[in-house]
Amino acid sequence: MSTTQSTGAEVRLIDVTRSWGSVTALGGVSLHVRAGSFCVLLGPSGCGKTTCLRIVAGLDSATSGRVEIGGRDVTALPPAARGVAMVFQSYALFPHLTVEENILFGLKARSVPAPERGRRLARAVETLGIGQLLARRPGQLSGGQQQRVALGRAIVAEAPVCLMDEPLSNLDAQLRAEMRAEILGLQRRLGITMLYVTHDQTEAMAMADQVVLLRGGHIEQDAPPAELYARPATSFAAGFVGTPPMNLLKLAPDGTVAGAGGPVLGEGGARLAGIRPEALRVGETGIPVRVTHAEYLGADTVVACQAGESRVLARLPGRAALAAGTPLHLAADPADIHLFDAETGARIATRDR
């Protein structure tokens, strides 16, 4: 979704690997981020997402493969020559410099003339609303304010690509939601290309044009959020995205839920059936389950059930007062049932999809 006056640059990773001795952090990652789009690198800790970002920044070098920014091979270039700005997880503000000096640090290092520095500073200050903080030191700021200053430092660089490494992980939940919207708005307004690392799938779903789900140094799925949600490519992707994530039910050779019976969800042995909690409803027929626990969340209730060998979560509307031990039948539309290979985790195409 590139904006019309896009100032971003496309980012391309071509078969990038990174290993430390015998440990492989990234094993052959290829990735294309369109100019001016918002790409989230998502995954659990240790999946290689931060390594990926650092290779784009030039803070780590790829063991093999190529990195291109704006069509230019930057694999061998130092970080400063790549045209990227970065917001660190720790913010990496210089503790002895004031907010203003922190923001202008890079411009002074690059000998940007003073009037131009002033213009860019004024713009960043206005965009982020940090005018009253300019004379303070990072130690005198709250976490959210430090975050804004770090953003300011990235903005004034006016780099076509902005990299963010878990920028919101040190903020409380409410501030995180606010900053999420703000960062997205900023990216849209400036038209820059954003590469954003997080382990929080909510952030990925809320902000991204493109989500790259990583696991064990490999790309599990590279798709827009809607597709990641609607058609997870693997059982891992299915189990990572959604609040709560998709249920994965082990199927018996006859295609029913192992140990529970009920309707046939998918033929053939060694399969997993994936059903989103919000796709389940209480019915006359369906998978026979027993309620173990119910969590009332206001708008809906998440009911935890046991279905044979599998645990199932169902998101039911309103307040479903269900005592533990209550037997239920949970039904889902055939269209909402996803099938995965139990061995490889790969999605199995069904007739209707």
Chain residues that interact with other proteins, rule: CB under 8 A: 57-59, 78-81, 84-86, 88, 90, 92, 94-97, 105-106, 109-110, 137, 139, 153, 157
- Residue 15 CA, chain-centre distance (Å), reads 21
Q: Which amino acid is at 170?
A: N
Beta strand segments in the chain, E? 11-20, 23-33, 38-42, 64-69, 72-73, 84-87, 161-165, 193-198, 210-215, 218-223, 247-250, 271-275, 281-296, 300-307, 310-317, 327-331, 337-341, 347-348
Q: Which amino acid is at 267?
A: E
Residue 271 structure tokens: 């399969």
H helical segments located in the chain: 49-57, 99-109, 114-128, 143-156, 173-190, 201-207, 225-230, 235-240
- Taking the complex as a whole, the smallest distance from the CB of residue 37 to other proteins amounts, in Å, to 21
- Taking the complex as a whole, the smallest distance from the CB of residue 56 to other proteins amounts, in Å, to 11
Whichever of 149 and 248 has its CB closer to other proteins, that residue is 149
For residue 301, the SS3 value is: strand
Whichever of 161 and 291 has its CB closer to other proteins, that residue is 161
Q: Which residue has the tokens 């290979």?
A: 341
Q: Are 145 and 137 in contact (CB under 8 A)?
A: no
CB-count exposure of residue 249 (10 Å: 0-12, 13-18, 19+): buried
Whichever of 105 and 182 has its CB closer to other proteins, that residue is 105
Whichever of 102 and 256 has its CB closer to other proteins, that residue is 102
Nearest to 233, CA basis, from 243, 219, 250, 216: 219
- Taking the complex as a whole, the smallest distance from the CB of residue 166 to other proteins amounts, in Å, to 12
Q: Are 74 and 46 in contact (CB under 8 A)?
A: no
- Taking the complex as a whole, the smallest distance from the CB of residue 150 to other proteins amounts, in Å, to 9
Whichever of 146 and 301 has its CB closer to other proteins, that residue is 146
Whichever of 153 and 215 has its CB closer to other proteins, that residue is 153
- Taking the complex as a whole, the smallest distance from the CB of residue 42 to other proteins amounts, in Å, to 22
User: Using CA atoms in the order 47, 90, 57, 78, what is the torsion angle rounded to 10 degrees?
Assistant: -130
- Taking the complex as a whole, the smallest distance from the CB of residue 67 to other proteins amounts, in Å, to 15
CB-count exposure of residue 46 (10 Å: 0-12, 13-18, 19+): middle
- Taking the complex as a whole, the smallest distance from the CB of residue 59 to other proteins amounts, in Å, to 5
- Taking the complex as a whole, the smallest distance from the CB of residue 307 to other proteins amounts, in Å, to 47
Whichever of 150 and 223 has its CB closer to other proteins, that residue is 150
Whichever of 56 and 246 has its CB closer to other proteins, that residue is 56
- Taking the complex as a whole, the smallest distance from the CB of residue 315 to other proteins amounts, in Å, to 40
Whichever of 58 and 262 has its CB closer to other proteins, that residue is 58
Residue 263 structure tokens: 């309707």
